[in-house]
Amino acid sequence: MGIGYTQLSVQMFIFAASNGIHFMKLVRVFSLLLLLLPLISNAQRWKFYRNEVGGYIGPTNMMGDVGGGKDIGVNSLFTNWKDFDGKATRIAAGGHFIRMFSDRIGAGGTLGGGFMGANDALTQEPSRRNRNLSVRTIFAEVTGIGRFYFKKENFGHVYKLRGARSFFLLNIAAYGYVGLGLTYYNPQGQYQGKWIGLRKLGTEGQGIMPGKDPYGSFTVIYPFGLGLKYALGNKWNIGVEYGARVTTTDYLDDVSTRYYDNAAILAANGPAAAALADPSGRSPGSEFETWTDRGEKRGDPKEKDYYMILQVSVNYRFVKGTSFKPRF
Which residue stretches of the chain have pLDDT < 70? 1-46, 70-82, 155-169, 283-285, 321-328
The answer to whether residues 308 and 77 touch, using CB atoms and an 8 Å cutoff, is: no
The Cα–Cα gap between 254 and 133 comes to 10
Q: Name the residue among 97, 99, 100, 101 with its Cα closest to residue 109.
A: 97
Rounded Cα–Cα distance for residues 85 and 66 (Å): 10
pLDDT at 32: 56
pLDDT at position 124:
82
Contact 200, 244 (CB under 8 A): no
| Predicted local distance difference test score (pLDDT) of residue 174 | 96
Q: What is the pLDDT of residue 233?
A: 83
| C-beta neighbour count of 210 within 10 angstroms | 5
Q: Is residue 175 part of a domain?
A: yes
- Annotate 138-181 with DSSP letters as a single string: EEEEEEEEEEEEEE------SS--TT----GGGGEEEEEEEEEE
Residue 108 lies in a domain: yes
Residue from 185, 172, 199 nearest 277 by CA = 199
Residue 142 lies in a domain: yes
Nearest-angstrom CA–CA distance, 274 and 293: 13
Give the domain extent around 155.
49-317
* Claim to verify: residue 85 and residue 150 sit in the same structural domain: yes
Pair 81, 222 in one domain: yes
CA dihedral of 211, 214, 217, 219, whole degrees rounded to 10: 50
Q: Please tell me whether residues 134 and 240 are part of one structural domain.
A: yes
Q: State the pLDDT at residue 86.
A: 83
Residue 86 identity = G
* Type and span of the H or E element at 235: none
Query: Do residue 209 and residue 263 come from a single domain?
Result: yes
Can you give the pLDDT at residue 219?
A: 98
Distance between CA 316 and CA 97 in Å, rounded?
10
What lies within 8 Å, CB to CB, of 62 at 6+ separation is 88, 116, 117, 118, 137, 252, 253, 305, 306, 307
What's at 298, amino acid-wise? R
Query: Can you give the CATH number for the domain in which 105 is found?
Result: 2.40.160.20
96 found inside a domain: yes
Judged by DSSP in three states, 259 sits in: coil
Please indicate, yes or no, whether residues 135 and 151 belong to a single structural domain of this protein: yes
Q: Are residues 227 and 172 in the same domain?
A: yes
The predicted pLDDT at position 249 comes to 97
Paired with 61 in beta bridges are: 308
User: Same domain, yes or no, for 18 and 74?
Assistant: no
Report pLDDT for 166: 54
**Is residue 326 situated within a structural domain?**
no
Q: How many separate domains does the chain show?
A: 2
Mark whether 269 and 312 lie in a shared domain. yes
- Reduced to 3 states (helix: H, G, I; strand: E, B; else coil), residue 244 is strand
34 with 70, same domain: the answer is: no
Is residue 325 domain-resident?
no
Query: Cβ neighbours of residue 52 under 8 Å, at least 6 residues apart?
Result: 96, 97, 98, 99, 100, 106, 108, 315, 316, 317, 318
- Cα dihedral: 229, 232, 234, 238 (round 10): -30
The answer as to whether 328 is a domain residue is no
Considering the domain architecture, whether residues 21 and 91 belong to the same structural domain is answered as no
Cα torsion angle, 69, 70, 76, 81, sign? negative
